[in-house]
Amino acid sequence: MEFAEPAVAAHHYAASLALYTDASDVSAAMAGGGFVLLDSRSRAAWDEAHIPGAFHLPTAEIAARAPRELDPGVPVVTHCWGPGCNGATRAALALATLGYRVKEMLGGIEYWRREGYPVRTPAGITADPVDPLTAPTAVSCGC
């Protein structure tokens, strides 16, 4: 097994933290504003459930709509369905190409919901029970 030199590892992990965030950090930061949470899923997926306060902009529409609808001075956090989907990555790439500062929310709306954060559905705002495998309630991971 090979290991990177500490300076290489430090550069990699610093870049990772600059490019990725998670549901817990997004939830904590939403009250303070300062960024747009962009849901890049389809209209049908958005209508089924979405994060309150998120902005809906499907990936395929970013090139046409972002310059008109998003302030280039405001950072964007993208999310899509979940860890098995690269839609948020494609959305982040499209935005970065247009000159936006961007991060991707790891886990997407799947992990948002699994961690018990609220979503807006046709029936109103609701929250799923916390999945103890993704957000243990008895102990903190301490990260």
pLDDT tens for residues 58-87?
Answer: 999 999 999 999 999 999 999 999 999 999
Q: Which two tokens stand for residue 44?
A: 């049908």
- Closest of 64, 74, 137, 124 to residue 103, by C-alpha: 74
The SS3 assignment for 121 reads: strand
CB-CB contact of 83 with 111 (8 Å): yes
pLDDT tens for residues 127-141?
Answer: 999 998 887 766 666
pLDDT tens for residues 8-64?
Answer: 999 999 999 999 999 999 999 999 999 999 999 999 999 999 999 999 999 999 999
The backbone torsions φ and ψ at residue 22, rounded to the nearest 5 degrees and listed phi first, read -130, 175
Q: Which two tokens stand for residue 28?
A: 């904590």
Question: What is the topology classification, in CATH, of domain 22-117?
Answer: Oxidized Rhodanese; domain 1 (3.40.250)
End-to-end C-alpha distance for the chain, whole angstroms: 27
Q: Which two tokens stand for residue 101?
A: 């500062």
Where would I find the H helices in 1-143? Answer: 6-19, 23-30, 43-48, 62-69, 87-97, 108-114
* pLDDT at residue 142, rounded to an integer: 67
